[in-house]
Amino acid sequence: FDQLSVIDNVRIPLLRAGGGRVSPWRWFWAELEHDHSVNQVAHQDLEQVGMDKQPEKLSGNLSHGEQRQLEMVMTLATSPRCLLLDEPMAGMSSEESIRMVRLIQTLKQDHAILLVEHDMNAVFDLADTISVLVEGRVIARGSPDEIRANEAVQRAYLGEQ
């Protein structure tokens, strides 16, 4: 929500119905910005991804990479067990990609992650098992080392060495 602050963007998914981390009825009875429990959890979530320095900044004024990080915080606010990430590094600068890779590495400890990504360096840094598709067909499956050594993958994605 571009016209809302970073912290407001995190408060909203905290109040999701059906098992949110904060009761949705709190929204009905109190203004969110004055609700200590909502704010405490929102600030913790922002801190987890390193976005706690400017909680009042309008999300529309964030860089592309920061907006992607905010999307991740909003997702994490719903307490998912599994993350389905579709090209989380797309359009990011190398510095932003490095920060996102570090974040996803920390999330691997507590979440199952299915990652669709074309940044092969990020894939090799993050994945335990890789499935490589070409035109919708799996051409290889294995560990990062097995995929690096696979000739069909090298031809398709990594270039001949």
For the stretch 18-72, pLDDT in tens is 445 555 555 554 566 666 777 888 898 899 888 889 899 999 999 888 999 999 9
* Number of DSSP helices (H) and strands (E) in the chain, helices first: 8, 4
pTM for this prediction = 0.77
Q: Judging by beta carbons within 10 Å of its beta carbon (0-12, 13-18, 19+), is residue 43 exposed, middle or buried? A: middle
Query: What pLDDT does residue 60 have?
Result: 95
Catalytic positions = 87
d(CA 76, CA 109): 14
The SS3 assignment for 92 reads coil
For residue 83, report the phi and psi dihedrals to the nearest 5 degrees. -115, 130
d(CA 62, CA 73): 14
